[in-house]
C-alpha cells in the first residue's frame, strides 16, 4: 500500500490543475447559485403547487445538497471516467504493471482519486450554499449542522458510488466511451424512475441513493398534515413556470434514524465491492491478453511467420505517378470518414433509429427532445476533433504539412458541421417545407456552435473532457427548457431574430479564436 498515496496524489493533482477542471468548477459554482432561486424567479428547484418554502438553514442546506448529489451523479461520471485511459495514453501503466501493486490497489487508488475530484467540487458548492443562505436567508438563524449533515449523508455516499462506477466502466468497456455514457445515463434514469415507484411513502430509503425521494416525501407530508392538503407529488429539478400565488411554509429538515444511516453505508460498501470485483477482470495493461481470440491468433501467426524479405530493390517505374492535390476536399472526406467510423458500428443503429424517429414523430417532439439527444450521442466524435493529432502524436507531421491552418483546420470544422447537419436533416427539411426559415437558421447555427465549441474547448484544455461535460450540461438545460441555453430554437422567443444574431457573433468569435490558437500552436511547435 506504500504506492497508494503517491498515485492518488499525482492523479488528483494532474486533474485539478487542468483548465477543464477549473472551468467546470466555475460553471458548477454558478449552477449552485441557481439552486436557491428567489421566490419571484421564473423557475424553482423544488415545486409544490401553491406553496414555497421559507429560506431557512434547513431548506437551503438540504436543497443544495440534494441538487449537488443529483447533478454531480450525472455529469461527474463524465468528468472522472478517464483515469485508467490516461495511464494507457501516457504509458505510465506499463510502469505500474511491472510494480508490486496489485490490481485492487491500483483500481482503489484511481477510485479514491475520482472521489477526491468530486469532493473538491462538492466542497466549493458547500461554501456557495452557505453564501446563498446569507443572501436569501430572510433573517432566519444560521445553523451549520443543517448544511454539513445533508452533504455528508446524501452527497458523500452517492459520489463514492459514482467514482466506483467510473472505474467499473473503464475496466469492462475500455475505450467504448460513448457506450459507457449510454449505459450509465440509462442506469441513472432507471434509478430515478425506480425511486418514485418504490419509495412513495419514504420508507424504502435503500432504493434512494440520492436522498431525493426522502426529502420530497418529508415536504409533502408536512404540507398535507399542516395545511390539510392532499398533495400527491413534489417536483424536483429546474422547473420553469409562470409566477402564481403561493403560501410560505417553514421546513425544519429530516430526522435521521439508524436504518437510514445504514443504507448510506450500504452504498459505500457497494462501491468498494464493485471496485474489488473489477480487479479480477482488469487487464493490467496487457492488451494482448485483453484482445479477442481471433485477434490473438492473428498476432501470434504474424509473429511466428514473418514476411519474406525481398532482395530485389524497388522499381520506381512500376509505382503510380505522384499527383499533387492541394485541394481541401480530400481532407474533408477523410475527416468525415474518421468521424463516421469512430466507435462501434452498432451504435449507428441507435443513431439511425433516432434519425428515422425525427422523420415521423411530431415536429415539436423531434426538435425539442430527439435532436438534442441525437447530437449528444455524437459527443465522443466531436470532442477530440481538434486534439486527436496530439493524442496520437501525429501533430509533428500534420502541423508541418502544406498550409495546415487553411486546409486541415477548416476541413475538421466542415466535416463536423456536415455530420451535425446530416443528423438534423429531417428536422431541417420539415421546417423548410413549413417555410419556417428562422428555426432552420437556428438549427444550422446550433450545428456550427457545437462543432466550433468542441474545437475551441479542445484546444484550450488539450483534451476532450471539458467539452463532454459542458455539452452534457447544455443538453440537460435544453431538455429542461432553460431559455438562456436554447441554442436550437426549441422554445418560442420574442427576440428570435436577436438570438440568431447572438449565435452568429458567438460562432464567429469561436472560429476566429480557434484559428488564432492553432496559428500559435503551429508557430510554437
**DSSP character string of 334-396:** HHHHHHHHSS-TTHHHHHHHHHHHHHHS-HHHIIIIIHHHHHHTTHHHHTTTTTHHHHTT-HH
**Is residue 1 within 8 Å of residue 108, measured between CB atoms?**
no
Q: Determine the 3-state secondary structure of 169 from DSSP.
A: helix
Per-residue pLDDT, 193: 66
Per-residue pLDDT, 447: 93
Residues 6+ apart with CB under 8 A from 278: 107, 167, 168, 171, 172
* Closest to 382 measured CA to CA, from 422, 347, 336: 336
Report how far Cα 122 is from the mean position of its chain's Cα atoms: 17
Q: At what angle do helices 258-279 and 156-173 cross, to 10 degrees?
A: 20
Per-residue pLDDT, 511: 93
For the full predicted model, state whether its pTM sits above 0.85: no
How far apart (Å, rounded) are the C-alpha atoms in residues 428 and 437? 9
Per-residue pLDDT, 178: 77
Per-residue pLDDT, 421: 95
**Is residue 426 within 8 Å of residue 434, measured between CB atoms?**
no
b (16+ CB within 10 A) / e for 85-96: eebbeeeebeeb
**Is residue 452 within 8 Å of residue 507, measured between CB atoms?**
yes
Read out DSSP for 144-166? THHHHHHIIIIIHHHHHHHHHHH
How far apart (Å, rounded) are the C-alpha atoms in residues 179 and 349? 13
pLDDT digit string (tens) for the chain, length 525 residues? 667 888 888 888 888 887 778 877 888 888 888 888 887 777 777 777 778 888 888 888 888 888 888 888 888 888 888 888 888 877 888 888 888 888 898 999 999 999 999 999 999 999 999 998 888 877 788 888 889 988 998 899 999 999 999 999 988 887 777 788 888 888 877 776 666 555 455 555 566 777 777 788 888 888 888 887 777 777 777 777 776 777 888 888 887 767 778 888 888 999 999 999 999 988 888 766 544 445 555 545 555 555 544 445 667 677 777 777 778 888 899 899 999 988 777 888 889 999 999 999 999 999 999 999 999 989 888 988 888 887 777 877 888 878 888 888 899 999 999 999 999 999 999 999 998 888 898 999 999 999 999 999 988 887 788 888 888 888 888 887 777 788 888 876 554 566 788 889 999 999 999 999 998 888 877
Q: At what angle do helices 19-34 and 57-80 cross, to 10 degrees?
A: 150
Per-residue pLDDT, 203: 54
**DSSP structural state of residue 434:** T
Per-residue pLDDT, 200: 54
Cα 383 to Cα 102, 224, 375, 501, distances in angstroms: 33, 48, 12, 25
How far apart (Å, rounded) are the C-alpha atoms in residues 473 and 464? 15
**Is residue 420 within 8 Å of residue 450, measured between CB atoms?**
yes
Sign, Cα dihedral of 498, 504, 506, 512 = negative
Per-residue pLDDT, 453: 93
Q: Determine the 3-state secondary structure of 283 from DSSP.
A: coil
b (16+ CB within 10 A) / e for 354-363: bbeebeeeee
Per-residue pLDDT, 287: 65
How far apart (Å, rounded) are the C-alpha atoms in residues 326 and 304? 42
Strand ranges, E, within 207-263: 235-240, 247-249
Phi then psi dihedrals of residue 239, to 5 deg = -115, 120
How far apart (Å, rounded) are the C-alpha atoms in residues 146 and 255? 11
Per-residue pLDDT, 122: 92
**Is residue 83 within 8 Å of residue 170, measured between CB atoms?**
yes
How far apart (Å, rounded) are the C-alpha atoms in residues 480 and 475? 9
Q: Determine the 3-state secondary structure of 10 from DSSP.
A: helix
Amino acid at each position: 500500500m506504500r504506492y497508494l498515496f503517491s498515485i492518488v496524489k499525482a492523479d488528483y493533482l494532474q486533474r485539478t490543475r487542468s483548465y477543464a477542471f477549473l472551468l467546470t468548477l466555475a460553471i458548477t459554482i454558478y449552477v449552485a447559485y441557481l439552486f436557491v432561486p428567489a421566490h419571484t424567479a421564473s423557475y424553482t428547484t423544488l415545486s409544490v403547487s401553491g406553496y414555497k418554502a421559507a429560506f431557512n438553514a434547513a431548506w437551503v442546506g438540504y436543497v443544495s445538497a440534494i441538487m449537488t448529489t443529483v447533478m454531480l451523479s450525472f455529469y461527474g461520471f463524465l468528468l472522472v471516467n478517464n483515469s485508467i485511459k490516461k495511464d494507457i495514453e501516457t504509458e505510465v501503466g506499463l510502469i505500474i504493471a511491472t510494480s508490486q501493486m496489485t490490481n485492487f490497489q491500483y483500481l482503489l487508488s484511481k477510485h479514491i482519486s475520482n472521489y477526491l475530484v468530486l469532493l473538491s467540487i462538492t466542497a466549493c458548492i458547500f461554501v456557495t450554499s452557505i453564501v446563498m443562505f446569507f443572501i436569501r436567508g430572510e433573517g432566519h438563524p444560521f445553523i451549520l449542522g443543517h448544511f454539513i449533515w445533508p452533504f455528508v449523508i446524501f452527497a458523500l455516499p452517492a459520489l463514492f458510488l459514482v467514482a466506483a462506477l467510473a472505474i467499473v466502466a473503464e475496466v469492462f468497456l475500455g475505450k467504448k466511451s460513448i457506450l459507457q455514457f449510454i449505459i450509465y445515463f440509462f442506469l441513472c434514469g432507471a434509478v430515478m424512475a425506480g425511486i418514485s415507484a418504490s419509495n412513495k411513502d419514504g420508507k424504502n430509503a435503500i432504493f434512494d441513493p440520492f436522498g431525493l425521494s426522502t426529502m420530497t416525501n418529508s415536504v409533502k407530508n408536512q404540507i398535507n398534515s399542516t395545511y390539510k392538503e392532499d398533495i400527491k407529488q413534489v417536483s424536483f429539478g429546474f422547473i420553469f413556470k409562470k409566477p402564481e400565488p403561493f403560501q410560505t411554509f417553514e421546513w425544519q429538515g429530516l430526522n435521521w434514524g439508524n436504518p437510514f444511516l445504514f443504507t448510506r453505508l450500504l452504498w459505500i460498501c457497494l462501491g468498494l465491492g464493485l471496485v474489488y470485483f473489477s480487479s479480477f477482470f482488469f487487464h493490467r495493461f496487457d492488451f494482448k491478453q485483453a484482445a479477442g481470440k481471433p485477434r490473438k491468433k492473428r498476432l501470434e501467426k504474424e509473429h511466428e511467420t514473418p514476411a519474406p524479405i525481398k532482395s530485389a530493390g524497388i522499381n520506381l517505374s512500376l509505382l503510380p505517378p505522384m499527383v499533387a492535390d492541394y485541394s481541401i476536399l480530400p481532407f474533408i472526406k477523410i475527416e468525415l470518414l474518421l468521424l463516421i467510423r469512430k466507435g462501434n458500428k452498432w451504435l449507428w443503429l441507435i443513431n439511425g433509429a433516432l434519425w428515422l424517429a425525427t422523420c415521423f414523430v411530431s415536429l415539436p417532439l423531434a426538435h425539442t427532445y430527439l435532436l438534442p439527444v441525437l447530437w449528444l450521442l455524437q459527443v465522443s466524435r466531436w470532442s477530440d476533433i481538434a486534439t486527436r493529432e496530439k493524442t496520437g502524436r501525429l501533430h509533428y507531421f500534420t502541423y508541418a504539412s502544406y498550409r495546415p491552418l487553411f486546409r486541415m483546420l477548416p476541413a475538421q470544422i466542415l466535416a463536423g458541421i456536415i455530420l451535425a447537419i446530416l443528423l438534423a436533416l429531417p428536422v431541417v427539411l420539415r421546417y423548410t417545407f413549413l417555410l419556417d426559415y428562422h428555426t432552420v437558421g437556428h438549427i444550422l447555427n446550433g450545428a456550427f456552435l457545437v462543432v466550433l465549441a468542441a474545437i475551441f474547448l479542445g484546444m484550450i484544455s488539450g483534451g476532450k473532457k471539458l467539452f463532454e461535460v459542458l455539452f452534457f450540461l447544455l443538453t440537460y438545460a435544453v431538455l429542461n427548457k432553460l431559455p438562456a441555453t436554447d441554442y436550437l430554437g426549441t422554445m418560442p422567443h420574442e427576440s428570435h431574430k436577436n438570438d440568431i444574431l447572438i449565435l452568429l457573433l458567438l460562432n464567429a468569435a469561436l472560429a476566429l479564436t480557434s484559428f488564432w490558437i492553432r496559428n500559435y500552436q503551429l508557430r510554437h511547435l
